[in-house]
Chains A and B, each alone.
Chain A
């Protein structure tokens, strides 16, 4: 059975630190990987996505893919209290029309 797994947390980091979020996936043929942020009571918003050909950096956010170990990471540098939210990982299996979501990791940034 294809799965996307995340540690539910909560993950707590002090303000200014690096937050590291991980996600493992079961389908070795997966090609697209997405990170969404969801504030309490709101809908998920896309942070960034990467394809199987490399990592990506966007401002304070970096997404990294480890294909051999089948996990994708999201690093948040200089964490801010406004980064406190649930982070959802999503994967598109090869040949699928939809994304498969993990259950999310709750991040708390302590001022």
Chain B
């Protein structure tokens, strides 16, 4: 069976500090991978998606970046966090050839 992991689960960071969030998927190959952000009381905002290693599509211009160094690993980064980066960050995966997304447990980021 397939599982998706995200870490850390929670994170408190000062403004201007760097960020690295990791997402890994087990039990599948060549998945599509997605990063979303959900601000408090808001909907899901798609940040990045990837259809393969090294292939990243950005949906929203901002101070975040994403990388996919391995088939089942997706990383979200920032060099300098802003207060507005606070939120619930969700990674999702889709099996190759499907369009059903499954979400990881999420990382709750608070920028102070």
Contacts and interface: CB of A to CB of B under 8 A. Distances in A.
A43 B105 contact: yes
Contacts of B99: 32, 92, 99
Contacts of B44: 44, 88, 101
Interface string A36-48: 1000011111100
A14 to B, nearest CB: 26
A102 B102 contact: no
Q: Is the interface of B mostly helix, strand, loop or mixed?
A: strand
Size category of the B interface is 20 to 34
B34 interface: yes
Contacts of A34: 100-101
B32 A46 contact: no
B81 interface: no
Contacts of B102: 46
Interface in A40-81: 41-46, 49
A82 B42 CA distance: 22
Given A34-B101, A90-B101, A102 B43 contact: yes
Given A103-B42, A103-B43, A104-B43, A98 B105 contact: no
Nearest to A51: B99
A43 B101 contact: no
20 contacts: A32-B99, A34-B101, A41-B108, A42-B106, A43-B90, A43-B103, A43-B104, A43-B105, A44-B44, A44-B90, A44-B103, A46-B100, A46-B102, A88-B44, A92-B99, A97-B49, A98-B59, A99-B101, A101-B44, A102-B43
Interface of A: 32, 34, 36, 41-46, 49, 88, 90, 92, 97-99, 101-104
Interface of B: 32, 34, 42-44, 46, 49, 51, 57, 59, 88, 90, 99-106, 108
Given A97-B49, A98-B34, A101-B44, 4 more contacts: A43-B88, A43-B90, A43-B105, A90-B101
